[in-house]
Amino acid sequence: MSKNELDFYNQVKNWDFSDIKYEKESLTNWDMYEILNKNAHKEFRILDLGTGGGEKVVKYFPEVKEIIGTDFSSEMIKTANDNLKKSGRKNITFKQMDNLKMTTEKNYFDIVVARHTCIDANGIYDTLKDDGLLILRGVDKLDCWELKKLFHKGQAYNDVKPISVIDYENILEAGFRNVELVPIHVREYYKTKGDLLALLLKTPILLDFSEERENSNLELTIDMELLDQYIKSHTTDRGILLIRRYYGITAIK
């Protein structure tokens, strides 16, 4: 991860979207946390990559022997530790780590979870026990595509290969078996322009993130006239429509 990416995530500090008013409609029956809780046992060790501010871990992860959440941003980890103290949960540790240079123990975890983050499939394979489970949820190239086309930029906008395919192929090449890739389609409806703008300022949707190029321009500028144009053409009775494209992958070591 480049320095400007780290600067961006340090500035964001957390992924708590509770103040953003929106509703969502999932069109795909694939839920990361449902899969996680169904497969976890109380003696398991779980690794969460790209943990952000730790909100999802303390809220949705099962009670198990050990959970380690990692993030490249030190500011994210500070936020995660603050959220951990408030939660009162035990057996959870947050620490700073680069996903692409993993330092976790080999053959240690029963489940590895990766959420909206870059991964090193070989590193995940090494840190999982035999028959261990990988659960991955990512943001794909066509996410918010109408918005990206209007702005002529955005996460993976100029990449040739979809992020989902890159991850899928890397996971296969690492030696995983029973690898399944599921496209996830979601409609989100934002109550106001301010709610949509808050999302865009807090996520890399309109940033020049690339899976194919090492250097990305992460200076966030939002043309408000273009945003107003998008809002005008995508306002519905339920709110401002944003079509999301995610993907889910499960695999066994």
Cα torsion for 105, 108, 111, 115, to the nearest 10°? -10
What CA–CA distance (Å, rounded) separates 166 from 154?
Answer: 18
Question: pLDDT tens digit string along 189-205?
Answer: 999 999 999 899 888 89
The domain that holds 44 is classified in CATH as 3.40.50.150
Cα–Cα distance for residue pair 207/219, rounded to 1 Å: 7
Overall number of domains in the chain:
1
Question: For tokens 């918010």, what's the residue?
Answer: 144
Contact, 218 vs 209, CB < 8 A? yes
Residue-number span of the structural domain to which 217 is assigned: 3-252
Provide the β-strand partners of residue 48: 69, 113
CA 64, chain centre distance (Å):
22
The amino acid present at 41, given as its one-letter code, is: H
Residues 8-36 have pLDDT tens digits of 454 544 455 678 999 999 999 999 999 99
Mean pLDDT to the nearest integer, 227-249: 97
| Residue 186 or 9, more confident | 186
Our CA angle for 179, 71, 121, nearest 5°, is 25
Give phi and psi for 206, each to the nearest 5: -105, 20
Predicted confidence at residue 208, as pLDDT, reads: 75
The pTM (predicted TM-score) of the whole model is 0.87
Q: Are 242 and 190 in contact (CB under 8 A)?
A: yes
Q: In 3-state terms, what secondary structure has residue 203?
A: coil
Q: What's the pLDDT at 61?
A: 97
Name 239's bridge partners: 236
**Model confidence pLDDT, tens digit, residues 56-98:** 999 999 999 999 999 988 888 999 999 999 999 999 999 999 9
Q: What local confidence, expressed as pLDDT, does residue 2 receive?
A: 47
- Summary mean pLDDT of the chain: 90
pLDDT at 6 over 90: no
Distance CA 238, CA 188 (A): 9
